A = this chain, B = another copy of it.
Amino acid sequence: MFSKSCKYAIRAVLYMAYKTSPDQRVGVKEISDTLDVPGPFLAKLLQQLTRNNLVSSIKGPNGGFFLSEKNRNEPLRKVVECIDGPEVFSACILGLPVCSSENPCPLHTQAFIYREGLLQMVGKKTVAEIAAQVSQEGLSV
């Protein structure tokens, strides 16, 4: 479903959501060590998210990455689409160029129903909301 890049990005953003604030930044190394993810690779992803205003950063000593209030209130879907592109939720599960309700592939209906469920979740819930659930319920990131 998601590329490795996207998985790393989602996890990093959720981690940042409960670890950072505009005056509480965190470096790539801390994130990559905690999530057990390749550091320089994660850096690229965070930079891409930063360019797209889904993550914030400050350079220099005491700088680092963090989520602004605005960043927290974005639906998680934006993070996914920033890394994997908008097609993740709409592309045909069998890779057919045209596959829709009018012209469905054999697995279309099932794939649609269930992908729609995921989409509803990451599309409606914000980063902050999902992160809140993570800390309340002690989920792993």
Q: Which residues of A contact B (CB under 8 A)?
A: 1-2, 4, 7-8, 10-11, 14, 93-96, 98-99, 103-108, 110-111, 113-118, 121-122, 130-131, 133-134, 139-141
Q: Specify the chain B residue showing the minimal Cβ separation from A11.
A: B94
Contacts of A141 in B (CB 8 A): 94, 105-106
Decide if B140 touches A93 in the complex (CB within 8 Å). Answer: no
Interface of A is mostly: helix
Minimum CB distance partner of A120 in chain B? B110
Cα–Cα, bound, A130→B107 (Å): 9
**Cα–Cα, bound, A46→B100 (Å):** 28
With CB as the reference atom, state the residue of chain B lying closest to A8: B95
CB distance from A43 to the nearest CB of B (A): 18
Residues B94 and A10 in contact, CB atoms below 8 Å apart: yes
